Each structure stands twice: as structure tokens, then as C-alpha cells.
């Protein structure tokens, strides 16, 4: 059985992961409007990955005989100034999610909930990967410095991303 505190914290994280999916879908739409088809595809895959995170938490709460309580999902922003700005926003968001996961771990430790702690180890590893992946794209875009030819190549590369079967780490 999950403690009430742990259950509420996991439900809050389900909402946060849903928001992440929603945010990346919005970023994908912005990239489509900016004619960055590869970036749009990359964010679409990212959005799908976040839904994988939602389901991982959802299934875990159900398995532990907890109660899933779904709340309203905040509307994400829909406008960014540049390809660099949209990926910088994604990087900042992943850093925020890492903080949320760390706080969840603190709750699990405080509740002596070793099973949840084990589940969260997967998320800790995932956050390291996600932060590194988005930061690498930010660095590439900084090097490109808005040059159309470089942007074209980065966009083409990001268009090759594939969704991992686990809903976790994907290629690129």
C-alpha cells in the first residue's frame, strides 16, 4: 500500500509528466509553423516519451493498489523567439523535472517506501539522459548561430529520431 503522502506526490508527478507531454506537443506545433520539420518530429517523439512516463507512474500506482487522481493540465506556452529559444526552454523544463523527481525521492525516503524509491531510480537515470540530450542540441544551435545552412543540417538530423519501445530513452 502507498502512504497517502506518497500517493499524492506520485499523482502530482503524473500531472507534471502530462504537462511535459503537452508542452513538447506545443513546441512541436511551433516548429511546424517555423518550417522546422525535423525539430517538430523530435518534439513529437519527446511528447510521446513523456506519455510513456505518465503511464509508467500510472501503472505503478495501480500496481501498488493506490488511487490515481487526475487533475487539470496547465496550458503550455505556444510561442518562442527562435529554434535556440525553444530548445533552451525545453532544457530548462527538464532541469525543473529533475528537481521534481529529486523531491519525490525525498518523499519516498521519508516514507520508508523502498519500492517507490526503486521505481524512481529509473526516472533519475532518465533525467540525466534527457538533460544531456537537450543540452547537446542547445549547444549545436549556439554553434550554428542562426546560420541557415547549419540549421538545415541540425533540423535534418533531429528528424531521424525514433521512439524507444519502452517509452523511455530514444535515439538522438
Q: In the complex, which residues of this chain contact ligand FEO (CB under 6 A)?
A: 17, 20, 50, 53, 94, 97, 130
What phi and psi, each to the nearest 5 degrees, are found at residue 107?
-65, -45
Contact, 53 vs 20, CB < 8 A? yes
How far is Cα 72 from Cα 82, in angstroms, rounded to an integer?
Answer: 29
Identify which of residues 43 and 80 has a Cβ nearer to ligand FEO in the complex: 43
Report the nearest approach of ligand FEO to the CB of residue 98 (Å).
8
Q: Which residue's CB comes closest to ligand FEO?
A: 53
Q: Are 34 and 145 in contact (CB under 8 A)?
A: no
Closer of 7 and 46 to ligand FEO (Cβ): 46
Of the two residues 152 and 171, which places its CB atom closer to ligand FEO in the complex? 171
Minimal distance, residue 81 CB to ligand FEO, in Å:
22
Shortest gap between Cβ of 53 and ligand FEO (angstroms)? 4
Per the CB < 8 A criterion, the answer to whether 108 and 117 are in contact is: yes
Q: Is 162 helix (H, G, I), strand (E, B) or coil?
A: strand
Looking at beta carbons only, is 56 or 154 nearer to ligand FEO?
A: 56
Cα-based distances in Å from 79 to 23, 47, 89, 163, 165: 11, 17, 11, 25, 31
In the complex, what is the shortest distance from the CB of residue 143 to ligand FEO, in angstroms, rounded to a whole number?
A: 24
Q: How many CB atoms lie within 10 A of CB 122?
A: 15
Q: How far is the CB of 159 from ligand FEO (least distance, A)?
A: 20
Give the nearer residue to ligand FEO in terms of CB position, either 18 or 151: 18
Amino acid at each position: 500500500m502507498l502512504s497517502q503522502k506518497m500517493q499524492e506526490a506520485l499523482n502530482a508527478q503524473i500531472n507534471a509528466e502530462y504537462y511535459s507531454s503537452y508542452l513538447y506537443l506545443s513546441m512541436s506545433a511551433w516548429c511546424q509553423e517555423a518550417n522546422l520539420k525535423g525539430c517538430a518530429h523530435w518534439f513529437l517523439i519527446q511528447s510521446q516519451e513523456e506519455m510513456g512516463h505518465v503511464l509508467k507512474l500510472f501503472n505503478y500506482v495501480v500496481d501498488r493498489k493506490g488511487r490515481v487522481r487526475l487533475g487539470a493540465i496547465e496550458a503550455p506556452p505556444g510561442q518562442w523567439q527562435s529554434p535556440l529559444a525553444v530548445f533552451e526552454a525545453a532544457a530548462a523544463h527538464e532541469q525543473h523535472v529533475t528537481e521534481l523527481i529529486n523531491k519525490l525521492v525525498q518523499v519516498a525516503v521519508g516514507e520508508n517506501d523502498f519500492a517507490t524509491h526503486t521505481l524512481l531510480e529509473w526516472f533519475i537515470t532518465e533525467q540525466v539522459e534527457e538533460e544531456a540530450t537537450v543540452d547537446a542540441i542547445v549547444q549545436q544551435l549556439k554553434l550554428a548561430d542562426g546560420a541557415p545552412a547549419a540549421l538545415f543540417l541540425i533540423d535534418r538530423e533531429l528528424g531521424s529520431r525514433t521512439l524507444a519501445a519502452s517509452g523511455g530513452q530514444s535515439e538522438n
